[in-house]
Amino acid sequence: MSQIASQLKMSKLIDEKKIAARVKEMGEQITKACKNEDLIAVCVLKGSFMFYSDLIRSIDADIRSDFLGCASYGDAMKSSGEVKLTLDLTNGIEGKNVLLVEDIVDSGLTMSFLQKTLAARNPKRLMSAALLFKPEALKTNYKPDYVGFEIGNEFVVGYGLDYQNRYRNLPYIAVVNSLN
Ligand code: 5GP
């Protein structure tokens, strides 16, 4: 385990190879679903930036990128339950095919909020992809259209996901066992 990983008690959950293979598969599925139509791919900041950049490179479609900022967690390991938009899209989505790209769905509150917010702007089609999904933590009836991996109700870091804005640069996903 690398120097940074040894600072928190954590264990590897999903390695680089598995992530790359699954992201490629998801890209192929989304390519098929796009049926040669263009797509606005929305990166939900900050945690999905790494997944997003790999996923859009696996999608063979005419993609325009946009970014949304959303806050729900702060520095804590548990959701505050409150979701707010901290950065809005640059361009309108009315009549467009939109793919929301999220790092992880935990309670589902963030994605439910974003789905409702974007659906109100009348896109042609609104799809969602999440790298990780915690079914046991779900507090809404939200389920992403495309899921990379289902995981248990544990706190994970790496591959863009943080703890106190650190560990995003781990190339794999790790479960945090305990804090020092
Ligand atoms: P939800 O609204 O579904 O409860 O939470 C979504 C957001 O909470 C994610 O975008 C992510 O920022 C954060 N989150 C949820 N679970 C985890 C986790 O296990 N690790 C990290 N680093 N962030 C998480």
Contact 133, 152 (CB under 8 A): no
Shortest-distance atom of ligand 1 to CA 47: 12
pLDDT of residue 158: 97
The count of domains in the chain is 1
For residue 124, say if its preceding peptide bond is cis, omega within 30 degrees of 0. Answer: no
Which of 52, 72, 82 has most ligand 1 atoms within 8 Å of its beta carbon, as the pocket-test mutant?
72
pLDDT of residue 4: 60
Contact 14, 133 (CB under 8 A): no
C-alpha 116, offset from chain centre:
17
Is 108 touching ligand 1 by the criterion CB < 6 Å?
yes
Judge whether 6 lies within some domain: no
Judge whether 142 lies within some domain: yes
Which of 161, 164, 173 has most ligand 1 atoms within 8 Å of its beta carbon, as the pocket-test mutant?
161
Interacting residues of 169 by C-beta distance below 8 A, sequence separation 6+: 4
Shortest-distance atom of ligand 1 to CA 79: 4
Q: Write the pLDDT tens digit of every residue in 67-94.
A: 999 887 554 555 556 788 999 999 999 9
User: Roughly what angle, to the nearest 10 degrees, separates helices 49-57 and 16-34?
Assistant: 60
pLDDT of residue 8: 77
What is the domain range of residue 146?
16-152
Judge whether 175 lies within some domain: no
| Among 94, 90, 72, residue whose Cα is nearest residue 82 | 72
| Among 61, 55, 64, residue whose Cα is nearest residue 123 | 64
pLDDT of residue 98: 97
pLDDT of residue 180: 56
Report CA(167)–ligand 1 centroid distance (Å). 14
Report CA(35)–ligand 1 centroid distance (Å). 31
Instruction: Provide the token pair at 29.
Output: 């599925």
Give the lowest-confidence range in 30-34, 59-63, 68-72.
Answer: 68-72
Report CA(22)–ligand 1 centroid distance (Å). 20
Judge whether 132 lies within some domain: yes
Report CA(37)–ligand 1 centroid distance (Å). 31
pTM value is: 0.92
Judge whether 124 lies within some domain: yes
**Would you please indicate which residues are annotated as catalytic (active-site) residues?**
106
Q: What is the CATH number of the domain that holds 111?
A: 3.40.50.2020
For residues 126 and 178, the model is more confident at: 126
Which residue has 């790092």 as its token pair?
103
Judge whether 109 lies within some domain: yes
- Contacts of residues 15-20 at CB distance under 8 Å and 24 or more positions apart, as own/partner, are 15/172, 16/171, 16/172, 18/149, 19/54, 19/131, 19/148, 19/159, 19/172, 19/173, 20/54
| Among 102, 179, 116, residue whose Cα is nearest residue 148 | 102
Judge whether 158 lies within some domain: no
